[in-house]
Amino acid sequence: MIEILLFSIITGLVYILMATGFNLILGVAKIVNLAYGAQILVTAYIAASLLPIFPLPIALAGAIAASIAVGAVIWMIMWVFRRDLILSIVASLAIALLIEGLILKIYGSRLLSLIIVTGEIWGISSQWVIAAAVSISSLGFYYLITKHTTLGKRMAAVAENEDLARYIGINVKLIGIASFLIASLLASIASIAITPLYAIYPHMGWYYLTLALAIVVIGGLGSTVGSVASSMVLAFAQNLASYYIGSPAKDLVPIIILVSTLMFRPEGILGRGVRWA
Amino acid sequence: MTGGYTLRALSRLNIYMILAAVVIAVLIGVAIIYQQMQARPVETIKIGFLGPLQTEYGDAGLKAVLLAVDEINRGGGIMGRMVEVVRYDDGNTPAQGVAGFKKLVEEDKVVAVFGIHASPVGLAILPEIARYKIPVFAMGSVSDVIDVNVSSNPGYRYWFRFNINASMHGLMVYYPAKAIASQLGLKKFGLLYDNAPWTAPVIDTVKKAIRSDGYEVVYEGTIDIGKTTSFVPQLAKARDSGVEILLVWNAYGDAKFLQRDYDDMKPPYILIQFDGVGMRPEQWNITGGKLSYQVFAFFVYGRGANVDPKLRSFYDSFKQKYGYDPLFYAPYIYDAVYAWKKAVEASRSFDGDSVANYLEKNGYDGISGKWIFTKGHSPLYGEGYITTMALQWLPGGKLVVIWPAKIADQQFLPPPWLKK
């Protein structure tokens, strides 16, 4: 049982990382980026391709750089459509489908495993320890940026009131780009942390996108604490369901929690009354 | 006298001319026949490969068939005819399998079909086999239901499975597990298996065997094919249930995640598994070496100390041609091609009934063992027929045969964390 609890905490930490990136784009750039999962996908496949060829740091840096480059391209396309919610959703969907199609064409539909490290640290799998350490340090880094830098304060200003931020001289477009790039970085780090614990496959982008969406909705739009809470709730619910009921229950649990939240508490666990419609 | 001499001279001349004309005519005739023989294309005979070509096991099966055909053609073909392989990807789906089978038979005019991994594909093409009377040699499709169908319907007699059936897949894991249990005095078994029709007879057979041997099943879990990418909950549950040996059956490649998680968690029990895709030396690198002390049931393994020289020779040929050791199905389907060749040559016919008659009566002695078929056209399993083996991965990536004792490189080595 102890492994289940530990594993749930680790996956929960990675989920927080994922949801944070998604939330950042939604809050600052006001874009519903459905291609966010595709960025996680790109990082995983590029890391898997580079690892057999290059030393670990270079391979991982290459995968992260590729994900950020993809994020930059997505940003350029999404910026054009961002004033129209429907168009921006359709555009991000199209980008995600395109990336998935390319991955399928290049790599095929096989499930791959990504092995980054082997061995143990204090009797625990090194991979688990690293996933937790990377997630915690990335979240700490993100906290420092958002709370203790000018960029963070400007991002908060844009998220709060874009017009007012522009009025006081903040370059909203630049802040949007920065938020997109930081979100891409978080997505790629989350990918490198989580895929060695699970698997790489061409459709995994949709799974992680659904998780990020569910976390944001369950936690409450705009609530950081809510996202943290819902990430942990989902991770524990998935692993405990798999432990007690069986592996098919794992994918059903987030949907049940999401639907229940929308029915009984649409503003989310710690939301501030924001509703989808 | 002069006239007689002239006449004799003329006669001699005539004889020479006639002889010369005959020689020239014969030479011209030979030249024409030779030219015609040269101009006429060598007649080939086509066989089909129907299987999941996009998968590693499908690819391995095809490569083994191509190797056998290559060798046969270099040896002069079959009854003077070269063999050509036409391939079709069935995608492991019944609809594609039936469409592919019809295409191979009707359009490509193949005289035999090899391959077929998924049991639903095998079941779906049985009526087509009866319709076209084409011999089919399956490398997988191990469901016992197919055996029942073949034994009860004479029209399905053209189907031959060059692989043991699902029930025997159960025993190929249980027998070495039983030997380990006996070695270490263990009693409690766990069962983890594909959530698929093929494992139903596997589990029935194994549960009966476990109970009749006085052991106990304390845990049962399933693998959601293609979706179970973390086995942490299952492995934790098995440990909490008191499992001492966990037996696994996975045919679709998901077990590499199980192997990784077992190595990460190091639970206090032994892992012994049938991993259809993982029974290969390359599995060490694929899992990043996360295989130490794990036991795999293998169909055959050509690198053990006491291996049959014929099998070792096949391993060498395969590696020379493709650059890596043959995987899972390869030796079985390789045997199937040679069994078909032998049946055709013995009966002097490519006809399905002739091939089926021969194989039903004689079976085939191949690199994997002796193929003698039951009424359901599944091979007999056990010593003297088709046997399997168990191998253990040791730290550093060494793979050793541990069962059966007769051909074992060494005894099973328990993982050190069991002592904790």
State the best of B59, B225, B232 to mutate against chain A, taking most chain A CBs within 10 Å.
Answer: B232
Instruction: Give the DSSP H/E element, type plus range, for residue B281.
Output: none
Q: What is the pLDDT of residues B105-160, one digit of tens each?
A: 999 999 999 999 999 999 999 999 999 999 999 999 999 999 999 999 999 999 99
pLDDT of residue B9: 57
Q: Which residues of chain B are within 8 Å of residue A199 when distances are taken between CB atoms? A: 229, 257
A30 min Cα distance to partner chain B (Å): 33
Whether residue A267 is predicted with pLDDT greater than 90 in this model: the reply is no
| Contact assignment for B288 to A199 by CB distance below 8 Å | no
Nearest CA in chain B to A6: B232
Q: What percent of chain B has pLDDT over 90?
A: 75
Q: What percent of chain A has pLDDT over 70?
A: 97
pLDDT band at B5 (very low <50, low <70, confident <90, very high): low
Q: Are B235 and B267 in contact (CB under 8 A)?
A: yes
Measure the CA–CA gap between B376 and B360, rounded to whole angstroms.
10
| Contact assignment for A239 to B233 by CB distance below 8 Å | yes
State the best of B229, B235, B252 to mutate against chain A, taking most chain A CBs within 10 Å.
Answer: B229
pLDDT band at A193 (very low <50, low <70, confident <90, very high): very high
Measure the CA–CA gap between B164 and B378, rounded to whole angstroms.
6
Whether residue B32 is predicted with pLDDT greater than 80 in this model: the reply is no
CB-closest option in B232, B253, B287 to A3: B232
Q: What is the pLDDT of residues A51-67, one digit of tens each?
A: 888 998 999 999 999 88
State the best of A115, A130, A210, A239 to mutate against chain B, taking most chain B CBs within 10 Å.
Answer: A115
pLDDT of residue A221: 76
Q: Which residues contact A61 (CB under 8 A, 6 or more apart)?
A: none
Whether residue A15 is predicted with pLDDT greater than 50 in this model: the reply is yes
**Whether the bond into B326 is cis, omega within 30 of 0:** no
Whose structure tokens read 């079976």?
B363
* For range A120-147, the mean pLDDT: 89
Query: CA triplet B267, B399, B252: central angle to 5 degrees?
Result: 65
Nearest CA in chain B to A116: B288
| Contact assignment for A198 to B229 by CB distance below 8 Å | yes
Q: What is the pLDDT of residues B371-391, one digit of tens each?
A: 999 999 999 999 899 999 999
| Contact assignment for B226 to A110 by CB distance below 8 Å | no
pLDDT of residue A113: 83
pLDDT of residue B322: 93
Nearest CA in chain B to A249: B224
Whether residue B4 is predicted with pLDDT greater than 60 in this model: the reply is no
Q: Which residues contact B170 (CB under 8 A, 6 or more apart)?
A: B201, B202, B203, B204, B205, B206, B209, B249
Whether residue A254 is predicted with pLDDT greater than 90 in this model: the reply is no
Is pLDDT larger for residue B167 or for residue A27? B167
- Which two tokens mark A209? 């996108």
Could you tell me the sign of the dihedral formed by the alpha carbons of B257, B259, B261, B264, in that order?
Answer: negative
pLDDT of residue B39: 53
CB-closest option in B222, B260, B264 to A247: B222
* For range B159-164, the mean pLDDT: 96
pLDDT of residue A271: 67
pLDDT of residue A28: 85
Return phi, psi of residue B287, to 5°: -95, 10
Nearest CA in chain B to A242: B233
| Contact assignment for A239 to B253 by CB distance below 8 Å | no
Measure the CA–CA gap between B180 and B391, rounded to whole angstroms.
12
* For range A119-123, the mean pLDDT: 80
| Contact assignment for B232 to A125 by CB distance below 8 Å | no
Q: What is the pLDDT of residues B196-217, one digit of tens each?
A: 888 999 999 999 999 999 999 9
pLDDT band at A277 (very low <50, low <70, confident <90, very high): very low
| Contact assignment for B290 to A239 by CB distance below 8 Å | no
pLDDT of residue A262: 84
Q: Which residues of chain B are within 8 Å of residue A240 when distances are taken between CB atoms? A: 233
pLDDT of residue B3: 47
pTM metric for this prediction: 0.81
Nearest by Cα to B210 from B174, B164, B254: B174
Q: Which residues contact A264 (CB under 8 A, 6 or more apart)?
A: none
pLDDT of residue A275: 39
Whether residue A263 is predicted with pLDDT greater than 50 in this model: the reply is yes
pLDDT of residue B1: 42
Whether residue B289 is predicted with pLDDT greater than 50 in this model: the reply is yes
Nearest by Cα to B51 from B163, B147, B157: B163
pLDDT band at A219 (very low <50, low <70, confident <90, very high): confident
CB-closest option in B236, B257, B288 to A199: B257
Whether residue B40 is predicted with pLDDT greater than 90 in this model: the reply is no
* For range B254-261, the mean pLDDT: 90
* For range B23-38, the mean pLDDT: 70
Measure the CA–CA gap between B52 and B406, rounded to whole angstroms.
35
Whether residue A85 is predicted with pLDDT greater than 50 in this model: the reply is yes
Kindly state the greatest CA–CA separation across chain B: 125
Nearest by Cα to A104 from A208, A206, A252: A206
A19 min Cα distance to partner chain B (Å): 21
Measure the CA–CA gap between A72 and A89, rounded to whole angstroms.
17
Q: How far is CA B257 from CA A260, B223, B260, B322, in A?
A: 32, 11, 5, 27
CB-closest option in B223, B227, B236 to A243: B236
| Length of chain A (residues) | 277
pLDDT band at B36 (very low <50, low <70, confident <90, very high): low
- Comparing A209-223, B85-99, B335-349, which segment has the lowest mean pLDDT? A209-223
pLDDT of residue A209: 92
**Long-range contacts made by residues A206-210, C-beta under 8 angstroms, separation at least 24?**
A206/A37, A206/A96, A206/A100, A207/A37, A207/A251, A208/A18, A208/A36, A208/A37, A208/A40, A208/A41, A209/A34, A209/A36, A209/A37, A209/A38, A209/A96, A210/A37, A210/A254
Name the most confidently modeled range: A170-174, A244-248, B57-61, B168-172. B168-172
